[in-house]
Chains A and B, each alone.
Chain A
Amino acid sequence: DGGITQSPKYLFRKEGQNVTLSCEQNLNHDAMYWYRQDPGQGLRLIYYSQIVNDFQKGDIAEGYSVSREKKESFPLTVTSAQKNPTAFYLCASRGNYGYTFGSGTRLTVV
């Protein structure tokens, strides 16, 4: 079945470390998105990519970086510059019939 796979499901990071969250899709979608969700809040857009080798900042890009070297993959790096990285991160892709979301990665800074 086609879908989006995010890994890991849970991630613990020490302060000052960079970590990379994986997002892989087999839906053949061009557009992919990263969202951040804080407890009891809605989703906020971090970065998006509409095509391979191109990506754009969303509303809260500071402290994050992405790459889009393959159509299937859109990894998100949470850098040490992100002051409050503890959150739930969701990856999504957009096709002709709407948006598909991954199951998320819960990142905790310890």
Chain B
Amino acid sequence: AQKITQTQPGMFVQEKEAVTLDCTYDTSDPSYGLFWYKQPSSGEMIFLIYQGSYDQQNATEGRYSLNFQKARKSANLVISASQLGDSAMYFCAMREGGPGDTGRRALTFGSGTRLQVQP
């Protein structure tokens, strides 16, 4: 079964508008972390934002915020005031287990959403 699902292969947004990229996840582990990465055409993975499963508040980092709905197992990324430089692939990822846990603690990735910002 897919552990991370991103249902939007591609999205368009007008410059200066907000956009929401969807992510749902599946885990039975009570402790986990959710990450969003941006991948421009160069291929590098740029970390955007992190949400821990026990965090009470939604994470925010500048223009990025994470809409975390634990009961629905969703972790949507909201980008406010889109810029042309935001055009890229965006990946949602999950790490199962907490900071003190053993185990592989590798990131599991979704299939990504390609965001195109139009002037």
A residues near B (Cβ < 8 Å) are 31, 33, 35, 40-45, 48, 50, 56, 58, 88, 90, 92, 94, 96, 98-99, 101, 103-104, 106
Q: A40-B111, A41-B111, A58-B106 are in contact. List 6 more A-B contacts (CB 8 A).
A: A35-B109, A42-B91, A42-B110, A45-B107, A48-B106, A101-B45
B112 touches A56 (CB 8 A): no
B28 at interface, CB cutoff 8 A: no
A interface: dominant SS: strand
Interface range on chain B (Cβ under 8 Å from partner):
20 to 34
Instruction: Tell me the bound Cα distance from A31 to B99 in angstroms.
Output: 13
Q: How many A-B residue pairs have CB under 8 A?
A: 52
Residue in contact with B42 in the complex, picked from A48, A90, A94, A103, CB distance below 8 Å? A103
Instruction: Knowing A42-B112, A50-B104 are in contact, say whether A98-B47 is a contact too (CB < 8 A).
Output: yes
Residue in contact with A99 in the complex, picked from B4, B47, B108, B114, CB distance below 8 Å? B47
B16 at interface, CB cutoff 8 A: no
Residue in contact with B91 in the complex, picked from A33, A43, A45, CB distance below 8 Å? A43
Residue in contact with A42 in the complex, picked from B44, B104, B109, B114, CB distance below 8 Å? B109
B interface: dominant SS: loop
On chain B, the residues within 8 Å of A42 by CB distance are 4, 91, 109-112
On chain A, the residues within 8 Å of B43 by CB distance are 88, 90, 103-104, 106
**Closest CB of chain B to A108's CB: distance in Å?**
14
On chain A, the residues within 8 Å of B73 by CB distance are none
On chain B, the residues within 8 Å of A40 by CB distance are 9, 111-112, 114
| CB-CB contacts below 8 Å: B29-50 with A | 35, 42-45, 47, 50
Q: Which partner residue on chain B sits nearest A89 by CB separation?
A: B43
B112 touches A90 (CB 8 A): no
Instruction: Tell me the bound Cα distance from A88 to B112 in angstroms.
Output: 15
**Closest CB of chain B to A40's CB: distance in Å?**
7
A43 touches B44 (CB 8 A): no
